[in-house]
Amino acid sequence: MPNPFKPTAGMTPPVLVGRGDDIEDFSYALDDGVGAPGRLMYLTGARGVGKTVMLNALGDLARQRGWLVIDETAESGFIDRLIGSLSGKSKTHLSSVTMPTASLSVPGAPVAASLNLGSAQFAPAADRALDFRRAMSERLDKLERKRQGILITLDEVQASGIDEIRALATAVQHLIREQRNIAFIFAGLPSMVEDVINDNVLTFLRRAERKHLGDVPLDAVRQAFADTIEANDKNVDDAVLSALAQATNGYPFMIQLVGYWTWRASETGPTADAHVITPEAAAKGIAQAKIKLGDMVHGPALDGLSAMACDYLLAMAQDDGPSSTGEIARRLERNPIYANVYRTQLIKEDIIYQTSYGFVDFKLPYLRDYLREHGAFHQMRRTIASLE
Ligand SMILES: Nc1ncnc2c1ncn2[C@@H]1O[C@H](COP(=O)(O)OP(=O)(O)OP(=O)(O)O)[C@@H](O)[C@H]1O
Ligand SMILES: [Mg+2]
């Protein structure tokens, strides 16, 4: 039987736990009509918290209403890809049909080649905005007659794509002002989205509704395990369900990892049982899930941090519970003001949180264990990088 759990980035889980309110909000905004505030929204939160799957779920709401939904990632060339989707022409044909500048995104061309062409080859942002707006308007003329609209979702927003994001946002702003039937949702890691929101040109985006996705309640996680396991014809007792839910810490990615590896342990090896998820299978699954979490979340999350932010976390990992910020500064041999810069950055990224005044603890589950095991490795890699 296929494993019902989906520990894969962007994959819709069997049960989307704890996001009912956010889904309800967007559903209301769609039905509320043109100009509803919830039609301009952004999602942030730590890696693996479920931003991409939320974009999918919100997109489904619009699709159910007959809307055109276009999902894009904020990688170079996305405006052209959007225009291509709107005009119904495939991306590969876009370059020859709509605009000559799009020849930059010729499939198969090495990335370096397209970057080397330089910005002179791109149409100015204002032109791109206009092209996009025109394409949107044409499509909307038809859709609005049937009371349908267009939702654009933009994932992995980051400041490096700011020129195109400006073009997109400018066009969206105009379309909203023209009372067109549209919605725009973008998503990214907190610091990335913040850079974009704080762009001087994009003040309009500051009015977007913010959904900061976080942990989900453990009883909802427990219920999701019960439902998914039962729907796939296995039994599980209360104690095992509690152990599975506890092990996730309410962190969405961990729900899928724990579910996946536990299910797998119940299908293969000494813990296999055709009818029941045994405590032994759960224990094995949980252990495996923690290892995978390190590879898939902790490793990449640390790679994205500055050396000093990593050192801050390593200093915290020496404690068994919440760390005193003063003590961390001493361990880092820095003054508290300097250390505070990194504390603030890590809090913003949802990696740590303030437990009480002057104390912080890890927010990403099992990061402490991961750092204790792999900290030396990360430090060594940085030392090597700084020598190069
Ligand atoms: N609410 C949820 N309930 C259950 N599982 C979830 C939930 N949200 C996300 N997941 C699962 O967690 C994993 C990560 O989700 P997703 O890729 O959407 O995260 P993300 O926030 O986009 O991460 P990244 O920052 O790396 O892009 C997926 O396997 C997904 O199925
Ligand atoms: Mg994502």
Ligand 1, residues 8, 47, 52, 155: which to mutate, most atoms within 8 A of Cβ? Answer: 52
- Residue 49 CA, closest ligand 1 atom number: 21
Cα of 1 to ligand 2 centre, how many Å? 27
Cα of 159 to ligand 2 centre, how many Å? 16
Cα of 70 to ligand 2 centre, how many Å? 16
pLDDT grade for 161, boundaries at 50, 70 and 90: confident
pLDDT grade for 135, boundaries at 50, 70 and 90: very high
* 66 or 203, higher pLDDT: 66
pLDDT tens column, 311-337: 999 999 999 999 999 999 999 999 999
Mean model confidence pLDDT for the chain: 88
Q: What angle do CA 189, 20, 235 make, to 5 degrees?
A: 105
Residue-level pLDDT at 200: 81
Nearest one of 267, 290, 266 to 277, comparing CA atoms: 266
9 CB within 6 A, ligand 1: yes
Residue-level pLDDT at 214: 94
Distance, CA of 79 to chain centre: 20
pLDDT value at 120 more than 50: no
Cα of 185 to ligand 2 centre, how many Å? 13
Residue-level pLDDT at 384: 67
Q: Which residues contact 150 (CB under 8 A, 6 or more apart)?
A: 67, 68, 69, 70, 86, 136, 139, 140, 143, 181, 182, 183
Are 88 and 337 in contact, with CB atoms under 8 Å apart?
Answer: no
11 CB within 6 A, ligand 1: yes
Whose alpha carbon is nearest atom 24 of ligand 1? 47
Rounded Cα distance, 117 and 309, in Å: 35
Are 240 and 282 in contact, with CB atoms under 8 Å apart?
Answer: yes
Computed on alpha carbons and rounded to an integer, the radius of gyration of the chain in Å comes to: 23
pLDDT grade for 199, boundaries at 50, 70 and 90: confident
133 CB within 6 A, ligand 1: no
Cα of 6 to ligand 1 centre, how many Å? 9
Other Cβ atoms less than 10 A from the Cβ of 242: the count is: 14
pLDDT tens column, 32-53: 999 899 999 999 999 999 999 9
16 CB within 6 A, ligand 1: yes
Nearest one of 331, 319, 388, 330 to 360, comparing CA atoms: 319
Cα of 210 to ligand 1 centre, how many Å? 18
Share of the chain above pLDDT 90, in %: 77
- Residue 45 CA, closest ligand 1 atom number: 21
Rounded Cα distance, 345 and 280, in Å: 40
Average pLDDT for 196-217: 90
pLDDT grade for 7, boundaries at 50, 70 and 90: very high
- Between 38-52, 82-96, 114-128, the lowest mean confidence (pLDDT) is in 114-128
Nearest one of 10, 21, 3, 4 to 48, comparing CA atoms: 10
Q: Which residues contact 15 (CB under 8 A, 6 or more apart)?
A: 224, 227, 228
Cα of 52 to ligand 2 centre, how many Å? 4
Ligand 1, residues 42, 244, 253: which to mutate, most atoms within 8 A of Cβ? Answer: 253
